[in-house]
Amino acid sequence: MEIRHLITLKAIVDKGGFAKAATHLGYAQSTVTSHIQSLEQELGVPLFDRIGKKVQLTEVGEKFLAHAVDMMQLYTKAKDVFKMEKEETGTLRIGAPESLTIYRLPFIIQSFRKRYPKINIIMKSGTCWELKEELRRGELDIAFFLQAPLTDQELYTETLVEEPLVIIVPPDSDKNRMLPTFQLGENENILLTEQGSYRDYFEAFLRSKGIATENAMEFWSVEAIKQCVMCGLGISMLPLVTVRKEIEKQQMDYIKWDSSLGSVSTIMSWHKDKWLSHAAKGFMEMVKEYAEGWEIKDFESGVFYRGIIN
């Protein structure tokens, strides 16, 4: 059983077919077919059902794929034994949602690049759910989530900081600034992020006030939501870290979120069974150093909020 055959198997699954895997790996399609045939002959069972032009893993194939991923990770670990002690070369795969990629990680990555200039960094953006799945499959070394603290049997998780949330409204809005008496005018537009995490809290709160969310507008981008709120299109809820500058410049207004209704944290996570390189461990230590300065000390006191919540 050759490691290149296992790599081919995973590429077929990831890319959705033999032809796409061949293009991705730079092989002729006949080579990809040969790799799978070799595996099937050695194992004595078919790994794919071939129905017309469509191929999909058999039940045995699905079970074998999990072991194949483990073997590829062990192969990578074995190769790295022979690298320099400080691992000045290699690749670090990091996943994070858009808000953390923009507002939490850039300075850390900049510092990391100075310390490890030859490490290739691959950043993957996605929802927290998508990133968890990629972490479980071993496709990421480290992932960051913005959600309620969690426990997971397959993952190590470390809560770095609780992220204050705010409901953001257009500048000079006459909205009531206290959540218990929060009211919306007629035909107010609700702007929502993608499914999951703090969006769930916002929707639950709106429903408790009798505010329908069926016709809300859903956005893929935090930046798009901010621009829409600033131009008066509607209201939304975002982590404070993503809108602090705009609030300070009075480009938008806000309503302080009651954390008893639900809170989110920035969480760093990695797979329990995945070997972490020297560079990955160095990045994680750097994150923890930076995270010590992330807590917003003046949030609870109301000093930051221009007296609106006082």
CATH of the domain at 175: 3.40.190.10
pLDDT computed for residue 259 by the predictor: 84
Same domain, 246 and 171: yes
Same domain, 169 and 279: no
Same domain, 182 and 40: no
Cα(220)–Cα(253) distance, integer angstroms: 22
Same domain, 39 and 149: no
pLDDT computed for residue 240 by the predictor: 92
Same domain, 170 and 256: yes
CATH, residue 41: 1.10.10.10
Cα(223)–Cα(237) distance, integer angstroms: 12
- Which one is predicted more confidently, 186 or 293? 293
pLDDT digits (tens, 9 = 90+) for 119-136: 999 999 888 888 999 999
pLDDT digits (tens, 9 = 90+) for 26-67: 889 899 999 999 998 998 888 888 777 778 888 888 899 889
Is 242 within a domain?
yes
Same domain, 119 and 243: no
- For residue 306, what pLDDT band results from cuts at 50, 70 and 90? very low
Same domain, 157 and 279: yes
Is 225 within a domain?
yes
Kindly state the DSSP code that residue 190 receives in the 8-state scheme.
B
Q: Give the containing element (helix H, strand E) for 147.
A: strand 142-147
pLDDT computed for residue 307 by the predictor: 33
- Cα angle 80-4-117, degrees, rounded to a multiple of 5: 35
- For residue 299, what pLDDT band results from cuts at 50, 70 and 90? very low
Q: Give the containing element (helix H, strand E) for 122.
A: strand 119-125
**Residue 234 CB burial class (10 angstroms; 0-12, 13-18, ≥19):** buried
Same domain, 285 and 150: yes
Is 25 within a domain?
yes
Tokens of 163: 């992220």
Same domain, 46 and 23: yes
Is 26 within a domain?
yes
Domain span at 70: 3-80
Q: pLDDT at residue 213 above 50?
A: yes
- For residue 95, what pLDDT band results from cuts at 50, 70 and 90? very high
Q: Give the containing element (helix H, strand E) for 55.
A: strand 54-57
Bridge pairing between strands 217-218 and 191-192:
parallel
Cα(94)–Cα(195) distance, integer angstroms: 21
Cα(225)–Cα(209) distance, integer angstroms: 22
- For residue 147, what pLDDT band results from cuts at 50, 70 and 90? confident
Alpha helices in the chain (DSSP H): 3-15, 18-25, 29-43, 59-80, 98-103, 106-115, 128-136, 198-208, 222-230, 240-248, 278-291
Q: Is the CB of residue 162 less than 8 Å from the CB of residue 198?
A: no
Q: Give the containing element (helix H, strand E) for 305.
A: none
Tokens of 307: 């007296």
- For residue 83, what pLDDT band results from cuts at 50, 70 and 90? low
pLDDT digits (tens, 9 = 90+) for 215-250: 788 888 899 999 999 998 889 999 999 999 999 898
Same domain, 181 and 195: yes
Is 305 within a domain?
no
Please choose, from the candidates 220, 260, 258, 226, the residue with its C-alpha nearest in 3D space to the C-alpha of residue 241: 226
Same domain, 68 and 127: no
Is 298 within a domain?
no
Is 296 within a domain?
no
Is 33 within a domain?
yes
Same domain, 182 and 97: no
Q: How many domains does the chain have?
A: 3
pLDDT digits (tens, 9 = 90+) for 155-197: 999 999 999 999 999 887 666 566 666 666 666 788 988 877 7
